[in-house]
Structure 1
Amino acid sequence: MKSWTLTAKLYVSGLTFLVLALTSIGTTLWVTWNLEGGAAAVNEAGRMRMQTYRLALAASTSGPSGETLALIRSFDASVALLRSGDPSRPLFVPWSEDSRQRFRQIAETWRQLRAQWTADRPTAQDAARDAGRFVALIDGFVAAIEAQMSRSTTLLQGVQLAMMGLAIAGVVAMLYAGYLFVLNPLARLKRGLTSVQRGDLSTRVEVDTLDEFGQLSAGFNEMAQTLQSLYGSLEDKVREKTARLEVKRQRLADLYEASAFLAKAPSLDALARGFAVQVRRIAKADAAAVRWSDEGNQRYLLLAADGLPAALLQSEACLDTGMCLCGQRRAEASIRTIPIVPDPAVSMGNCQRAGFRTLISVPVKLHDRVLGEVDLFFREPVALDDEDRDLLDTLATHLASAMESLRAAALERETAVAQERALLAQELHDSIAQSLAFLKIQVQLLRDAMRREDAAAMNGIIGELEAGVRESYADVRELLVHFRTRTNEEDIEPALRTTLSKFEHQTGMKVRLEIEGHGVPLAPDVQVQVLHIIQEALSNVRKHAGAREVVLRVSRTPHWRFEVRDDGLGFDAAVGHADETHVGLRIMQERAQRIAAVVRVDSSPGRGCAVTLDLPAAAALEPAAPALGALA
């Protein structure tokens, strides 16, 4: 039964006990039925005794009359009933050899008596004698039936005792089978689990059957073996995982450090030298070189190196593209691992003489444009995996971005210087140049007056020259104030107060600043242009207004608005005179256009002048082009 499943074992055990129980119950029912049928046969035989006496009396008294014949037919029916039985009652004779012999004697004797009693009338004495002998045969037949019933009763008692024993044995057998097939395997598994919980992973459960518990025990053993194997190698796996995480952490730290350095490098030379040191350390190379390629990718110039011999530095300071494996062509640029072996077709003598055995070439590319190359030199054979390639490619990409940022910053500075010079030229042309032209004319007039020896004219011209020099000096001071103005604060108010304070100190006029509302601060480059426009408006007041008081009103809502109002002479704003006032207005208009603002002039003779600057609502949020910021 070791190869049987638990289901089969339980099924066979239960079926066996069911068959035994059904057999016992069937045997009991069969014996009981036999006893019931035998009892009915005994009753019928007892009725035949009574019928015999009645028939003997009727035959001796009346002969073969109708009553006698009726009794004979009833007796014939009783004999036939005993012979064939009646299952419906039930009634049947529990036949045995003795009972069959006695029934044959009864049947034979009845035929003789029936023939005698139907032929003539017997005497009472003969009828009584024959009836007594016949009843004795019936009594013997009844005794044989009772003996057979006694044996059936004994059998019934035996079967009942057997059923009691079977019930007890069945309970005991079921308990034993439950222990053997279920409880004992469960106890073994429980002991195994307890041992595993205590840390004894070498615990195994005995597998002595192939049933479900045997399969469960085998699975438990496999699980324990797997746990033991995993636990045994757990420390190695933890160390391996820790080492991998440490490598990745170090790579991220190296990448972060390199990125931080590249972002802060002040020049291309410092960028290349620092990157060469860092990439050599990160790649664990024996030497590293950073080369720059021209826009046409015709040659590679050595920008910086770390660890390279002096002879190699001198010989490879500038390489033509494709001259050796270091300088890659644009179309073929990719990360390559190059073993340094003697090859007449390829020029690698310098590297070989320096003792290097492996060269890793990493192109520095940005938007499919080759900006240069990073060369790593090793004195031992080296192979790159995918992670190393990704790290070197990322470093090269950061280097390319840093180089491009330096180039863009240089271009931006160049553009800012050019715009600053253009602005300075414009300011000089619109102010000092005109004054110098006037002085040049006055000098020529002075020479003419001197030739004519016209003292009055010379005195007048000298006065004009003196006034022109003072005007030019004032213009120079005003330009210096303009170009030194800075907006280091988020709010423009401190710069406005500084500008008005300087104006009041220079001119002696009374100045007042009025600010209302609250708004989003202006962008720095917009603040610079606003200050220059206000300074130009104040310059016009100083030169032409003849005012006693100047008011600067600033409104922050619903948008920024600046108004410079004076109480001077005023002028007709509708008349276009090409004088300095209109020159200053043109300068203010040009500055306002750079920040998408509008300048309006409201003036009339004798009523002073008001210069209004209206800024768009977006000026506080969107700074102008970066180049304009350089004007500050």
Structure 2
Amino acid sequence: MIPAQTLFTPATLASRADGSSIVSGLVTELAAGTDLELLLERFLVSIVALAGAQAGAVRLLTDDGQHMRLVAQQGLPAHVLIAERLVERDCGMCGIAADNDVLGWVEDVQSCARHSNDPYFGQQCRRVLAISLPHGNQVLGIYNLFFEADAQINSQTQTILRLIGQLLGLTLHNARIERERLRVTVMKERQEMVNEVHDALAQTLAYARMRLPLLHDAMLAHDDQRSLKYFTDVKSAVGEVHDNLREVMTYFRTRMDPLGLLHALQGIADGFFSRTGITLEIRNSGQNLNLTDEQEVQVFHIIQEALANIAKHSMARRAVVAIDKTPQRLEFVIEDDGLGMAAPSVSTIVTMATGLAASTHFGLEIMQSRAQRLGGHLEVGMKDGGGTRVRLVLPMTPTPTESSV
């Protein structure tokens, strides 16, 4: 088969307008996920050559279904492009093709000229073919072929043109699904940002707001001792808000390493000592973790938060992230040899240590929320021999191979 990159050059097509090659090339491009507009422009060159036409265009129905919008073209004069950029859905044979899965000729090309006063239709263009772009029971648009003479197309070529229309309809349907997926993803990320900001800032700001009237009353009473206390409380709360806001902003600026969770963790470890003075080791006995992209992101930020707490509060010299996997569960343990926690206890949900700063308290709440999203649980407590231990446990769904063993 002719390579895709040579199949669509005009010189090659002039010598080989092979319908089967066009279809197979289109299938290959669809599987490769080529950019939609580039795909349409490229295949119009092939389709125009196959049919012996002089120009081609692809039109999609607008969201309101009232018009057809020109999204790709090949060979149309510039002044025609302007006039044909947007046409009514019910316009002649093109409108019929937009309502039904058909291949039909425009019998009166003068009707096309009503969009402009240009003499293109009826002189340079004497026949127009309209082919539907269907998917299932729905027509998503049409494509047109423009001919200089009263051309005739044999039944075999018509069948290929219909097949190409169906494949392009599939492409448009998949592109619509992808746009919807991206829209949902953006909405989800915005909601996640709202949740993060609320979790990280709301309680501390409420605390500062309650302290301000007390500070005001103490100042009016010239009670220097109480004034200093409430001022210190407000100052501390503002500092916590500032630190937490920076962490949230850093999280939303940072995306998961494209090489995956383990590569991202090793990247943190490589620069951890230079930033914190603490040696960080990654121990992985799990090999293939079998996590989705979304799961990797959540796990990464749980570990990132635990390491941030170690850097800020532990006074440790060494820290370890250990990863272990069994058929039943995936476990991440983050430990340090630092000061530990003033009131050690362990909970299968999350343990709040009275000895930790308030900012760490909020960080643990966010970690807990992430663990719950993953269907797992988080444990925080003292490590044997001193230091702090954070343990994230995720249930594993056996793969067919594992379950059959």
Per the shorter chain, which TM-score range? 0.7 to 0.9
- Picking from 379, 396, 400, the partner of 1:617 is 396
Question: Alpha-carbon deviation of 1:418?
Answer: 1.7
Tell whether 2:259 aligns with 1:489.
yes
Structure 2 CA distance for partners of 1:581 and 1:477, relative to 1, 3 Å: closer
Instruction: Kindly indicate whether the alpha-carbon contact (under 8 Å) linking 1:297 and 1:329 is maintained by their aligned counterparts in 2.
Output: no
Identify the structure with the greater helix proportion.
Answer: 1
Indicate the SS of the match to 1:285.
coil
Tell whether 2:369 aligns with 1:590.
yes
Structure 2 CA distance for partners of 1:576 and 1:569, relative to 1, 3 Å: closer
Aligned twin of 1:251: 19
Percent of aligned pairs with the same amino acid: 27
- Picking from 128, 146, 150, the partner of 1:377 is 146
Tell whether 2:298 aligns with 1:529.
yes
Equivalenced residues, count = 370
Indicate the SS of the match to 2:139.
strand
Distance between the aligned counterparts of 1:430 and 1:621, measured in 2? 39
Distance between the aligned counterparts of 1:459 and 1:585, measured in 2? 29
Question: Alpha-carbon deviation of 1:436?
Answer: 3.0
Structure 2 CA distance for partners of 1:426 and 1:501, relative to 1, 3 Å: farther
Tell whether 2:86 aligns with 1:318.
yes
- The residue correspondences of 1:402-551 to structure 2 (distance < 5 A) are 402-483=171-252, 484=254, 486-490=256-260, 492-499=261-268, 510-513=278-281, 515=283, 517-523=285-291, 524-539=293-308, 550-551=319-320
Instruction: Kindly indicate whether the alpha-carbon contact (under 8 Å) linking 2:265 and 2:300 is maintained by their aligned counterparts in 1.
Output: yes
Distance between the aligned counterparts of 1:281 and 1:247, measured in 2? 10
Distance between the aligned counterparts of 1:403 and 1:515, measured in 2? 46
Question: Alpha-carbon deviation of 1:528?
Answer: 1.9
User: Could you list the runs of 5+ residues in structure 1 that have no partner in the other structure?
Assistant: 1-245, 623-632
Aligned twin of 2:342: 569
Question: Alpha-carbon deviation of 1:374?
Answer: 0.7
Indicate the SS of the match to 1:398.
helix
Structure 2 CA distance for partners of 1:341 and 1:328, relative to 1, 3 Å: closer
Distance between the aligned counterparts of 1:565 and 1:482, measured in 2? 22
Tell whether 2:378 aligns with 1:599.
yes
- The residue type paired with residue 342 of structure 2 is L
- Picking from 128, 145, 162, the partner of 1:359 is 128
Distance between the aligned counterparts of 2:68 and 2:263, measured in 1? 53
Instruction: Kindly indicate whether the alpha-carbon contact (under 8 Å) linking 1:571 and 1:605 is maintained by their aligned counterparts in 2.
Output: no
For normalisation by structure 2, the TM-score amounts to 0.74
- The residue type paired with residue 461 of structure 1 is Y
- Picking from 53, 57, 69, the partner of 1:289 is 57
- The residue type paired with residue 378 of structure 1 is F
Instruction: Kindly indicate whether the alpha-carbon contact (under 8 Å) linking 1:285 and 1:377 is maintained by their aligned counterparts in 2.
Output: yes
Question: Alpha-carbon deviation of 1:320?
Answer: 2.8
Larger Rg: 1
Question: Alpha-carbon deviation of 1:495?
Answer: 2.5
Distance between the aligned counterparts of 1:594 and 1:280, measured in 2? 52
Distance between the aligned counterparts of 1:316 and 1:552, measured in 2? 62
Instruction: Kindly indicate whether the alpha-carbon contact (under 8 Å) linking 1:358 and 1:380 is maintained by their aligned counterparts in 2.
Output: yes
Aligned twin of 2:67: 299
For normalisation by structure 1, the TM-score amounts to 0.50
User: Could you list the runs of 5+ residues in structure 2 that have no partner in the other structure?
Assistant: 1-13, 115-119
Structure 2 CA distance for partners of 1:332 and 1:620, relative to 1, 3 Å: closer
Deviations along 1:315-363, one digit per CA (max 9) or x if unpaired, are 4443333331222255533012344478xxxx35557534433221110
Structure 2 CA distance for partners of 1:532 and 1:516, relative to 1, 3 Å: closer
- The residue type paired with residue 564 of structure 1 is I
Aligned twin of 2:330: 560
Identify the structure with the greater strand proportion.
Answer: 2
